[in-house]
């Protein structure tokens, strides 16, 4: 049984602290809104929704506009600003995000704010559009990994589902809790 806000279950198994979900362009905006609520209810601290193929972004922005705490919308890699946020809605593709981070590194070197020797994994991560590293990525599609969060998901546990509702989310979290995280080892 999951407990809300504790970060653990009654059996002592950890919940993912950060869940990212990748939806396709045909996703009902109410599902996106509901996902944030469901994640709050099970105790997930950070929820990132990725909608890289969406054309009509206003519909999704409107769907999450009334949520408290608010959702930070990131539609350009330049728009990141600030630290990790509990609720993120991203329209970025992974390649776009990485290229922009590298451009920001180059600008910082040109301006003298960073030396080439100062480039490390943290320097790249600090310039990404979407902050943080998800513990669990749920891909709502077939078994194809989308072009999102390329840098951030290198050690992330993956779960593929055909559709997402509250029961499916809880099932993915239960599956995550049963896994032995290896972090690339």
pLDDT of amino acid 24: 83
> Whole-prediction pTM value?
0.85
Q: Which domains are delineated in the chain?
A: 18-177 (3.40.1180.10)
User: Residue 131: its pLDDT value, please?
Assistant: 86
Supply the pLDDT for residue 55: 78
What secondary structure, in 3-state letters, does the chain show? CECCCCCEECCCCECCCEEEEECCCCCCHHHHHHHHHHHHHHCCCEEEEECCCCCCHHHHHHHHCCCCCCCEEECCHHHCCCCCCCEEEECCCHHHHHHHHHHHHHHHHHCCCCCHHHCCHHHHHCCCCCCCCCCEEEEECCCCCCCCCCCCCCCCEEEEECCCCHHHHHHHHHHHHHCCCCCCC
pLDDT (0 to 100) of residue 75: 77
pLDDT by residue, tens only, the chain of 185 residues: 333 344 443 333 799 999 999 998 788 999 999 999 999 999 999 999 999 878 788 999 999 999 998 898 887 766 554 556 789 999 888 999 999 999 999 999 999 999 999 999 999 999 998 888 999 999 998 667 788 999 999 999 999 999 999 999 999 999 999 988 777 66
pLDDT at 185 (0 to 100): 64
């Amino acid at each position: 049984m999951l407990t809300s806000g504790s970060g653990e279950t009654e059996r002592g198994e950890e919940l993912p602290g950060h869940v990212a979900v990748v939806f396709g362009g045909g996703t009902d905006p109410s599902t996106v809104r509901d996902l944030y609520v469901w994640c709050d209810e099970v105790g997930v601290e950070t929820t990132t929704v990725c909608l890289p193929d969406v054309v009509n972004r206003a519909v999704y922005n409107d769907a999450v506009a009334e949520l408290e705490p608010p959702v930070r919308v990131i539609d350009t890699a330049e728009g990141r600003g600030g630290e990790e946020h509990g609720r993120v809605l991203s329209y970025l593709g992974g390649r776009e995000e990485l290229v922009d981070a590298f451009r920001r590194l180059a600008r910082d070197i040109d301006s003298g704010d960073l030396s080439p020797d100062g480039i490390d994994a943290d320097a790249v991560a600090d310039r990404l559009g979407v902050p943080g590293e998800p513990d669990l990525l749920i891909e709502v599609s077939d078994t194809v990994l989308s072009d999102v969060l390329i840098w951030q998901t290198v050690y992330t546990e993956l779960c593929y589902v055909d559709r997402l509702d509250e029961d499916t989310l809880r099932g993915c979290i239960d599956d995550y809790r049963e896994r032995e995280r290896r972090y690339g080892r």
